[in-house]
Every structure is written in structure tokens, then in C-alpha cells.
Structure 1
Amino acid sequence: MTSNRTFSPQEMNVLIALQEKPSATLEELARVTSFGTSLVYKILKRLTETKIHEKPAFSITAHPNQFALGLEVIDVIVKCKNLSQIQIMHQLSIIHPYTIYRAKCFGEVNGIFFQFRIPIGTKQFIEALFSRLKEKKYIESYQILEFGAKNVIYTTVKLESWNLEQLSWNFNWNNWFQTEIELSQKDKSIQKKSEKNLQNTVRHPGYIKKWFKKRDVAILNECVIDARRKNKEIMDVLETKNQINFSPQSFSRRFMKIKEECIDFYRVFIDPNAFQLITPVLILGKGEKMEIKKLVIRLQKDPIPFNSVLKSKNSHFFWYLHLPSLYLTQILHKLQAILTEIQFFYIDVGTVKSWGMWHETYDNDNHDWIHTHEFMVDDVLIGISKFAKDNIVKE
């Protein structure tokens, strides 16, 4: 999918300012860009216009503080041999209460790439679910990727690296990999300190659950969808979609508490088609621990100008990237030189579907996410079996 959308220098300046501070007010954006507030308002309105273009030029989403919420992300790659299994997996993504991402993938495995945001300590239910799906011949095989939450790095599109005149990126993988990166004593101490803080913090996973409620999940979900909306807009959506009502004062107080304790950071997503970023790929690799560590440190110190998520654990890593197609061979060539194993997947961007947080997954009485075998496995299998029987196969 291509796009004819281009940006003026003024629009680029506003987008760059937003990337630096996603939650900036009009006044703050005007100060940074040296534009008048009214001009910034007009530019933002133009960039979010959807009448001409299929989607807004950018979106800003909140990334939940998963540790505070007592949640973790699990990645699963499922092998499917035919269209029937693909359709069943599409239905699974809709039925499962904790799905956050689904897309078809092609490469080492042809099938579906899933992400689930589940209560910490319930990974066995994901294992049990896919094991049963395999037994029932709904899938061929599956691979659960285990990286944890400690070593995850996010990078975002950096428009400073986009050449507006030539409509190309000022970036070269060869140069990036040639930059000397050594794990200094300071890096080692910082890494050990951060891991220790995560493990030995006085706050335990899910510490906000003592005051968190179902309505707060709904509020947080709206921030995940679009974090720049005004309070009144979010209140209207909550009332219409979830029948949740607040007074302006009580919502303002609750919203502030959620932003302070339940949101980790914000990310700005720019229309990838306007910058040739039309090729999402997933790379799984294995190599020497020191090589993986150098890759992690390099990305921390010198972030690439593209959207990506890098996860690492010991000698393994996971890298999901949005890249211009011309850059693929460069990165694969470089990674091949430092890794012992590589799995490569094309992600079918046309099948990408993402979800936020469903408020019905939270139990107000127990102050916890619903994490029973019945909720996460049995009910899902019943729904899948019914779908398969009615639409695809006879059991």
C-alpha cells in the first residue's frame, strides 16, 4: 500500500515537536516550533483530517505500565497450513479476552503472529490453550516466545532523519553497525541496577490493583487508542460505549491518577506509508550473549529512526521493525555476520489488527484481572469449536 501524502516543512516541524513531547499542549508546541498557537492548531487539525486521507497523519497512544497493572506481554507464532486454520486463528484473536495484536506472517513459519497482554503468572494458560488447539487440528504448531519485560527497547520514527527534498532516509545500516559500541563499566552497573530495581522494588507487580477498578480499565483503554483527546471527548465515549458516567471533577481526578500511575510512556505513530515504511518484519535471532548485549546497547545509545521493538534474553533476541523495503537486505546481511541463527518473517500489514484493554477482564470484587482456566482457556475453546463447526469444519 502506497500513499501520496507529503508534508510541508511547517507540518514536519510540528510532528517533530510532538515526537519530542507527545503530551505537549498547543502553547508548548507553539513555543518549540516558534509558530503562533493558532497556526499550530490549524496544522494539527489538518494532520488529523480523515476526509481526504484514509487515516490521520499521526496518532499518539499511551503504553500501559504493565508492571504496575500486574500484566505481561506474551508473543506467539502459530503455524497454519490452510485458509481454514487462518480463519480459526482470526476468530481466536477476537474471542480471547487478552489479545492485543494479530497479523498474518510469512517466512520461517507461515501463519499468525499473536501478542497477548495477560495477568502475570498465567502463561501456562496460553500454553494450555495452544496445546489444545494443536490437538484438535486447528493449528499445525506454535512457538511461545519468552523474553519478559526487563529488556525491551522501543524506538520511534525520527523525522529529523527524513530528507524532505529527496523523500528518502538519511540512514545507513552499514554505518550504524560499524559504530564501535563497548559495554563500559558504567553500562554494566546501570544494567545491573535497573534489573535489581525491577526485582527488588518495594512495589510488587500489580500494586495499583488495590484501588484500580473496571471503569479505570475503560479509561486507560481510551488512552491506548488516542491519548491526545480532551477529557470531555473521553467522557462522552465512555458514556456511549461503556455506559460509564463521571462528573467533570471526578473524572479529572481519576484521569490524573491513572496517567500518573498506570501509563509508562507515550508513543507517536506517524503514517508509515508517507515515509516508505510499508514493510513490517519480525526477526528472531540467536548468538553469543556479548553480541546480543552489544546490539542492545547500540540501540539504546544510538536509536534507529524507525518504529521498532527489540526484546532480548541471554543469547536470544526479538526485533519487530517497520522499514523501507530497500533496508531489509542491509540489516539481514549485518545480522547474519553476528548471529548463529536467524528466523525472518514478513508481517502482512493488511491483516494487522490491534486491540486495547477490555474492561470486562477486571474483577472489581477481587481487585484483580480475571485469570481462571475457564476464562482464558475453556471459554475460548468453546467459542472456537462453535465457530469451526458453524463456518468451516465438522467435528
Structure 2
Amino acid sequence: MVDHSDLRILTALGRDPLGTVQDIGRSTGMTSATVSIRLKKLRQTGALFSVSAQLTYPTLGLEPVVTFIEAPFKSLAKIETLLDRHPYTRYRVRCIGYYNGLYGLFAVPEGTLTTLRDFLDELKGGVITDYRLDTPTNGWSYSEIDYDLYDMAQDQWGFNWAKLESSLEGVDTTPPQAKTRSSLIRRLDVKDLRILEQLTIDARRKGKRIAADIGITPYHLTRRMQFLNENRVVDSYRVIVDKGVSRLVTMFMFLCHCDAGETRRFTSAFKSLPFQSTLIPTHQGFFVQASIPPLDLPILGSILQQRCEKIESLWSDYRSSMRYYFWPGAYKDGTWDDSHEFMVEKVLGGAD
């Protein structure tokens, strides 16, 4: 069971994911010793699972794919097993609403979208009924939850949605100069990829431990981390909490169809959203996954409805969600394994 002080620490982590206990102490008004004890307790009880790096996939020669799988309830467990087996699955969660089945995020080698379709097509006619793929564009937006807005005694949130709505008007919708995130994969080695793996497992682990696990010196780790940060290989950090903490909010998803100007408005505004969210621009508009108080859903829905031509809404079961660590094992002989055998046949083999 978390208390108000624990929630303040989680809020501080959201604002400064890699901050030291001294940094968090200054932010929360607690001593470093108190922060250290509480962080340890949060981890031991499972309330705080990790702080996970969110990667910029194009810099690694990978193409992110937003995927919705329509399937009957009886097939969900089997599909989840298959997604667990797929080498390029990044995230999955059960969803209900416009799509009934699963939402998944893949990051596949560039140019292999057809191979991903082959994998999903193999599941049609028995396991899934249909699927939809969206290829995101650049400029993802992330936000973390601010528990300072939660009144534990009253069990209610005090966020001013009107302020967020008004902020949409002040966003410059002029198309930015086109930026392409070129792949850096040729400038990385397996040890760099293992660093990224460790950052997705838990970016708050001590550098000495990460270096020891990889088999490099702390100096080498520091130098490569500087390179990865300068080139924006890590896009953001996500604070992963237990469902006992996340019960304060419910995860909703919206596929919004709108013009590029509105997408830029929401991308900018959602950076200040005091709830954990990921906004992914697409060619049709944007996809947003946000954990918000259930009572606030109509307010957010109304804001979206006023500016979007069409909205496809879903809610998801946080308990069924699975995040996958970055896996260097798919990188072989200087390239990502993009063979049909690796991405389709081996995944399907032995799945029955």
C-alpha cells in the first residue's frame, strides 16, 4: 500500500527519471536517506517496477508499427504467446471498444512490413478475424503522471482540463522543417545494443553494475551513453508501476483522424498532460494511449471530438499489458535478422 509520500516520490521520478536520491529529496522535501528507504520499499513491494528507456527506433534501423488485432476472447491467450515469441514485439495489451482483441507495438527491421503482414495473415481464418497496421511518423510525445494532483483523502484528482484545452490554441501549427532520423546502426556494436537492452530493463541501475553485466568499463559505458544521448537514440523514460498504483487511473486509447495541424497541437499540449501517456503521430492523425481518471474520460473525449474528424476509442486492461525489453539477439552479422524464417516460421512453429 502506497502513501502520499510514496506518490510524491513517483511524481519526482516522472519529472527526473534518472535523478539521484539527492535530486529526488530536494524535489520532495525529504532527506536522501528517506528517499532511499522508500524507493527500496517501493521496489520490494513491487509498487515500482522499473524506469524503462523508450527508444527512437528509426535510429536503430527499425520501423515502429502500431497494430490492432481483432480476435475472439478464446484466442487472446494464444495470440499473446505468439507475440511473446516474436522477436520484434515491443508492447501488447488487451483492448475492448472499436477493436476487440489486442493492441501491439512492433519495431521491425526497415522494409519488412510485408513480412509482418505475412505473420498476421497466417493467423487469419482460425485465430484472428482481422488486423490493422499504422506506420507512425516522427515526433512522438510522452508524459508522466503527477500524483501531486491527487487528493488521497478525497480520492479525487484536481487537474484543470480547461487549461489544457486552451493551450491548444497557442500552438504553432506551421509545419516544422522536415527531419529524418537516419539509422545509426552501422555506428553501433553489440555492446551498444546491450547497453540499450539494460536501459529498457531498468535505466536507474547503477552504471557500474550495467558495465559489469555487459563486460565493459564504466568509462566506456559513460562514453557510449553520451553518444546515444547526443543522437537521441533514447527518446524518453517511462516509470513502470504496479497495478495497485495504476488502479487510480484507467488506460484509454484513441485513434484520431485529423489534419497535420491538429496533430501538432495535440502533440505539443499532451507533453504537459499530468497523466502517463504516449502520443504517436500517424499519417491519418495520431494515436494516443493515456492513463486517466475514469471520471475525466468524457472531458478528454469532448476535447478530442471538437477537433478531430473521426475518433476510434478503446479501453485496455492494464493487467494484461506486457512490455518487452530491447533484444540484441536479433542483430546478427552486422544486420537485423529480417528473414521470413526468423520473423514468421519460427514464431509460428510449435505454437499449438
Q: TM-score range by the shorter chain?
A: 0.7 to 0.9
Residue 102 (structure 2) pairs with residue 122 (structure 1): no
What residue is the counterpart of 2:103 in the other structure?
A: 113
> Given the two structures, how large is their TM-score scaled by the length of structure 2?
0.87
What residue is the counterpart of 1:387 in the other structure?
A: 351
Residue 343 (structure 2) pairs with residue 376 (structure 1): yes
| Helix, strand or coil at the partner of 1:121 | coil
Alpha-carbon deviations, 1:333-368, whole Å to 9, x = none?
A: 3333333322121212221111111221011x3x22
Q: CA deviation at 1:98?
A: 0.6
Q: Give structure 2 stretches of 5+ with no counterpart.
A: none
Residue 159 (structure 2) pairs with residue 171 (structure 1): yes
Q: CA deviation at 1:34?
A: 5.0
Q: 1:220 aligns with which of 178, 182, 196?
A: 196
Alignment of 1:33-182 (within 5 A): 33-50=28-45, 55-57=46-48, 59-83=50-74, 85-134=75-124, 136-148=125-137, 150-173=138-161, 175-176=162-163, 178-179=165-166, 181-182=168-169
Q: CA deviation at 1:64?
A: 2.0
| Helix, strand or coil at the partner of 1:137 | coil
Residue 183 (structure 2) pairs with residue 206 (structure 1): yes
Query: Take 1:338 and 1:257, find their aligned partners in 2: how far apart are those partners?
Result: 40
Instruction: Kindly name which structure, 1 or 2, has the bigger radius of gyration based on alpha carbons.
Output: 1
What residue is the counterpart of 2:206 in the other structure?
A: 230
Q: Is the 8 A contact 2:53 2:234 kept in 1?
A: yes
What residue is the counterpart of 2:285 in the other structure?
A: 316
What residue is the counterpart of 2:237 in the other structure?
A: 266
Mark the CA change 1:339 to 1:265 in structure 2 (over 3 Å): closer, same or farther: closer
The one-letter amino acid of 2:154's match is Q
Percentage of matched positions with identical amino acids: 28
> Given the two structures, how large is their TM-score scaled by the length of structure 1?
0.78
Mark the CA change 1:351 to 1:30 in structure 2 (over 3 Å): closer, same or farther: closer
Query: Take 1:247 and 1:258, find their aligned partners in 2: how far apart are those partners?
Result: 17
- RMSD, aligned CA: 2.8
Alignment of 1:287-326 (within 5 A): 287-300=258-271, 303-313=272-282, 315-326=284-295
Q: CA deviation at 1:78?
A: 0.8
What residue is the counterpart of 2:324 in the other structure?
A: 355
Q: Is the 8 A contact 1:292 1:315 kept in 2?
A: no
Query: Take 1:127 and 1:295, find their aligned partners in 2: how far apart are those partners?
Result: 30
Alpha-carbon deviations, 1:260-304, whole Å to 9, x = none?
A: 55423323345564364442111112245544443334334xx21
Query: Take 2:263 and 2:327, find their aligned partners in 1: how far apart are those partners?
Result: 35
Q: Is the 8 A contact 2:140 2:267 kept in 1?
A: no
Query: Take 1:290 and 1:258, find their aligned partners in 2: how far apart are those partners?
Result: 31
Q: Is the 8 A contact 2:134 2:282 kept in 1?
A: no
Q: 1:23 aligns with which of 10, 18, 27?
A: 18
Query: Take 2:73 and 2:246, find their aligned partners in 1: how far apart are those partners?
Result: 34
| Helix, strand or coil at the partner of 1:322 | strand
Query: Take 2:262 and 2:15, find their aligned partners in 1: how far apart are those partners?
Result: 30
Alpha-carbon deviations, 1:47-68, whole Å to 9, x = none?
A: 3232xxxx13363111223232
Query: Take 2:182 and 2:28, find their aligned partners in 1: how far apart are those partners?
Result: 40
Q: Is the 8 A contact 2:144 2:277 kept in 1?
A: yes
The one-letter amino acid of 1:182's match is E
How many pairs does the alignment contain?
351
| Helix, strand or coil at the partner of 1:94 | helix
Query: Take 1:82 and 1:35, find their aligned partners in 2: how far apart are those partners?
Result: 47
| Helix, strand or coil at the partner of 1:48 | helix
| Helix, strand or coil at the partner of 2:122 | helix
Mark the CA change 1:15 to 1:90 in structure 2 (over 3 Å): closer, same or farther: closer
Q: CA deviation at 1:321?
A: 0.9
Q: Give structure 1 stretches of 5+ with no counterpart.
A: 239-243, 389-395
Q: CA deviation at 1:164?
A: 4.6
| Helix, strand or coil at the partner of 1:60 | strand
Q: CA deviation at 1:257?
A: 4.8
Query: Take 2:165 and 2:264, find their aligned partners in 1: how far apart are those partners?
Result: 15
What residue is the counterpart of 1:391 in the other structure?
A: none
Q: 1:5 aligns with which of 2, 7, 18?
A: 2
